[in-house]
């Protein structure tokens, strides 16, 4: 059975008690991988960022992986976090240590292309834009809105077989898919949270997460084969769901992870009423 068959389903994930952050350590031969599963944040005061930096420094990795499209490597730690969250900090720490980095995530155009095969292009467009809006709105040091989304639209348009993407198109598809107008500046992660089950975009997120988890698993296993010490950051849900698959790919006797039995289990839930 391939390791990917061991990636947890969302039903399985909902029964698990876990802490956040959730740290998974795996080793194979003389190589070690530390997978840091955190919450998505861009607040430099969040203690999670000190935990990431401490774990990175202790491991002294030869290679580092992060979630999402590779951000610009900022020289200032606070700006790196405010603009790019966990990925920004990893890129900052790696540049300071002279360590190479890469994204462990499926390239955005490839994800859009795969989603296009599974769902209608309009629904895929709405999902991808809402997820990106939530990421943009979470930033505490925002970039130029039009330039940021212009680049994003250029990445996904060919994969969705669209000649061009603009806001009138998105607003039309958003109303068709979700039955309400788009308020771009008010979008949060809830609209694409796979642990909710109220919106089509939440259900699409489950499809997306599985595609991404399959890809991430391959990247993690490959990095462990190529480098002596690998540090990786990812959202906590991905870390927990990938853990059994990583166990299937390495010697279990050298594995341990951080658990917290007093954390209540995650269960499928209804989203708060939208305004």
Instruction: Identify which of 159, 112, 154 has the alpha carbon closest to the alpha carbon of residue 131.
Output: 112
pLDDT at 265: 37
Q: Is 52 a residue whose pLDDT tops 90?
A: yes
Residue 128 and residue 170 in contact, taking contact as beta carbons nearer than 8 Å: no
pLDDT, tens digit (0-9, with 9 covering 90-100), for 5-34: 999 999 999 999 999 999 999 998 889 999
Q: Is 263 a residue whose pLDDT tops 50?
A: no
Model confidence at 216, pLDDT cuts 50, 70, 90, reads: very high
Instruction: State which fold the 3-106+213-257 domain adopts.
Output: 3.90.190
Q: Between β-strands 31-38 and 229-235, what pairing exists: parallel, antiparallel or unpaired? A: parallel
Which residue has better confidence, 13 or 272?
Answer: 13
pLDDT at 260: 37
Q: How many CB atoms lie within 10 A of CB 162?
A: 17
pLDDT, tens digit (0-9, with 9 covering 90-100), for 226-245: 999 999 999 999 999 999 99
- Give the residue range(s) of CATH 3.90.190 domains in the chain: 3-106+213-257
**What's the mean per-residue pLDDT of the chain?**
91
Model confidence at 250, pLDDT cuts 50, 70, 90, reads: confident
pLDDT over 70 percentage in the chain: 91
pLDDT at 1: 76
pTM summary value: 0.88
Six-digit token string for 64: 């580092």
Q: What is the mean pLDDT of residues 23-48?
A: 95
Region of poorest pLDDT, from 53-57, 60-64, 114-118, 138-142: 138-142
Region of poorest pLDDT, from 14-18, 79-83, 104-108, 177-181: 14-18
């Amino acid at each position: 059975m391939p390791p990917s068959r061991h990636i947890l389903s969302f039903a399985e994930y909902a029964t698990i008690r876990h802490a956040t952050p959730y740290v998974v350590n795996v080793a194979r031969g003389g190589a070690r991988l530390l997978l840091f599963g955190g919450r998505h944040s861009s607040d430099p005061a969040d203690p999670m960022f000190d935990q990431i930096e401490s774990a990175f420094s202790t491991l002294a990795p030869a290679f580092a992986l992060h979630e999402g499209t590779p951000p610009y490597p900022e020289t200032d730690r606070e700006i790196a976090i405010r603009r790019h969250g966990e990925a920004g900090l990893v890129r900052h720490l790696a540049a300071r240590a002279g360590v190479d980095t890469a994204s462990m995530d499926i390239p955005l155009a490839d994800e859009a292309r795969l989603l296009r095969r599974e769902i209608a292009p309009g629904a895929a467009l709405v999902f991808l834009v809402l997820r990106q809006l939530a990421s943009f709105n979470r930033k505490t040091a925002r970039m130029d809105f039009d330039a940021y989304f212009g680049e994003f639209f250029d990445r996904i348009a060919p994969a969705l077989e669209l000649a061009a993407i603009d806001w009138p198109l998105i607003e039309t598809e958003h109303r068709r898919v979700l039955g309400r107008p788009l308020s771009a500046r008010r979008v949060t992660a809830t609209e694409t949270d796979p642990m909710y089950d109220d919106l089509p975009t939440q259900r699409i997120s489950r499809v997306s997460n599985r595609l991404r988890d399959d890809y991430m698993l391959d990247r993690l296993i490959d990095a462990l084969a190529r480098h002596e010490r690998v540090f990786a950051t990812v959202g906590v849900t991905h870390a927990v769901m990938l853990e059994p698959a990583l166990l299937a790919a390495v010697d279990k006797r050298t594995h341990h992870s951080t658990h917290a039995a007093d954390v209540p289990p995650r269960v499928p839930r209804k989203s708060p009423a939208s305004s």
